[in-house]
Amino acid sequence: MAPKLGWADWASAWLHITAETLLQRVYTYHLPHKLSLPVLTGSTCIITGATSGIGLETAKQLAEAGAHVVLACRNINAAQTLVHEWKNQREQDSAPLNVEVMELNLLSLSSVRAFAAAWEARKEPLHVLINNAGIFSMSAPQKFSEDELEEHMQVNYVAPALLTLLLLPSLSRGSPARVVNVNSDMQWFGVLDPDDLNLTCGKRKYSSVAAYSGSKLAQIYFSSLLECKLRSGSGIHVICVNPGIVKTNVIRTLPKVVQAIYNFIGCFSLSSLEGARSVLFCATDPQVVQYADALKAKGWPVCSYYSSICKPNDTSKHAQNMNLALRLWEKTAEIIGLSTEDIEKLLPIC
């Protein structure tokens, strides 16, 4: 039986989101507008969805700090235009940016497999994978991918999960390495039935909020189990992060009037630059690894979850349901066509 949100869960979810919306500017007041990063020369980072919003700012700053950055995007032309702009903006006496574009459409699991195969063929180390790309198709009708998955579930959860598993050998070569999953406090509203990921069985009605929050909750379950399976000696950590409420293109599917209202209340929202802070923090700060190691040492089953103020935060109570996490893991393996043995082979030997 799939869990439901009780009234206490609803109340805490609403409290959480309302406080975040109204107070995030206060909470993040002490942070610099732009996070200062360590020198990242010699590090390789793959980031999905870098053509817009939080992903764009994150990718740009990683590249400016010297990292080799791979923009994994479905809109190759837009990504190449961006890289061209960034290179042109670079001052003449500074080191050239090391950025490249590779095609990845998360709405297609075969595109994910093709991307991973092309990357793995290079046999290069990967130090940071940022699963940033995401959709929240507010007020749009329910849609399905070519893999017959509900689109939020596919783009926000299933495809990044497959990508992460397939890139484990590269992450192992890059160890110490991190997987940063850009999550959302909407996970507080998440309810998940592994036997009805598409929300089509009639037990729960489809809404974009149910689909989005469910996909973000699924990502926490998957990240927690993967973090458990990656033994301490692997040097790889999986971290989820909430960037805050950020003014980006995520509202593109809303009616124009609603977009105008959203922009009007934009004074409460963070800019993409500010939204990128917690993602960059999770991708680069040594404290993040120390915290993840400490959680592992005390046997806490849920992965690290960071807030927009770059501090560890609580997940919802539902995100701590490890029986459900296990059922989801098994269902996911079935969907992406990987057996337990296939996954064991991808996990680093330590």
Ligand X SMILES: NC(=O)c1ccc[n+]([C@@H]2O[C@H](COP(=O)([O-])OP(=O)(O)OC[C@H]3O[C@@H](n4cnc5c(N)ncnc54)[C@H](OP(=O)(O)O)[C@@H]3O)[C@@H](O)[C@H]2O)c1
Tell me which residues are annotated as active site: 212
Q: 187, 209 in Cβ contact below 8 A?
A: no
d(CA 226, CA 338): 14
Residue 163 engages ligand X in binding (rule: CB under 6 A): no
In the stretch 260-299, what mask flags binding to ligand X with x, by CB under 6 A? ----------------------------------------
Segment interacting with ligand X, rule: CB under 6 A, options 53-61, 83-91, 223-231, 260-268: 53-61
In Å, how far from its chain's centre is CA 252?
A: 19
CB of 127 to ligand X, least distance (A): 21
Q: 240, 161 in Cβ contact below 8 A?
A: no
Closest residue by Cα to residue 282 from 18, 94, 45: 45
d(CA 256, CA 252): 9
Residue 55 engages ligand X in binding (rule: CB under 6 A): yes
CB of 232 to ligand X, least distance (A): 28
- Give the chain's length: 350
In the stretch 207-246, what mask flags binding to ligand X with x, by CB under 6 A? -----------------------------------xx-xx
Number of residues that bind ligand X (CB under 6 A): 29
Which residues have a Cβ under 8 Å from the Cβ of 132 and sit 6 or more positions away? 47, 48, 49, 50, 54, 55, 58, 180, 182, 279
Residue 49 engages ligand X in binding (rule: CB under 6 A): yes
Segment interacting with ligand X, rule: CB under 6 A, options 35-43, 72-80, 230-238, 324-332: 72-80
Sign of the Cα torsion 131, 287, 45, 299 reads negative
Which residues have a Cβ under 8 Å from the Cβ of 260 and sit 6 or more positions away? none
Choosing from 24, 132, 172, 307, the residue that interacts with ligand X (CB under 6 A) is 132
- Pick 207 or 249: Cβ nearer ligand X: 249
Choosing from 171, 182, 197, 199, the residue that interacts with ligand X (CB under 6 A) is 182
- Pick 80 or 173: Cβ nearer ligand X: 80
Segment interacting with ligand X, rule: CB under 6 A, options 36-44, 118-126, 130-138, 292-300: 130-138
DSSP one-letter string for 25-51? HHHTTTS-SS------TT-EEEEESTT
Segment interacting with ligand X, rule: CB under 6 A, options 24-32, 50-58, 59-67, 90-98: 50-58
Residue 190 engages ligand X in binding (rule: CB under 6 A): no
User: How many CA atoms, within 13 angstroms, populate the side-chain half-sphere of residue 128?
Assistant: 32
Q: 134, 156 in Cβ contact below 8 A?
A: yes
Closest residue by Cα to residue 3 from 320, 332, 334: 320
Segment interacting with ligand X, rule: CB under 6 A, options 84-92, 133-141, 310-318, 334-342: 133-141
Residue 162 engages ligand X in binding (rule: CB under 6 A): no
CB of 219 to ligand X, least distance (A): 9
d(CA 219, CA 120): 23
CB of 132 to ligand X, least distance (A): 5
d(CA 235, CA 98): 25
- Pick 144 or 300: Cβ nearer ligand X: 144
d(CA 79, CA 214): 29
Choosing from 35, 53, 254, 319, the residue that interacts with ligand X (CB under 6 A) is 53
Residue 250 engages ligand X in binding (rule: CB under 6 A): yes
Query: Which residues would be at the binding site for ligand X (CB under 6 A)?
Result: 48-49, 51-55, 73-75, 104-107, 132-136, 155, 182, 184, 242-243, 245-246, 248-250
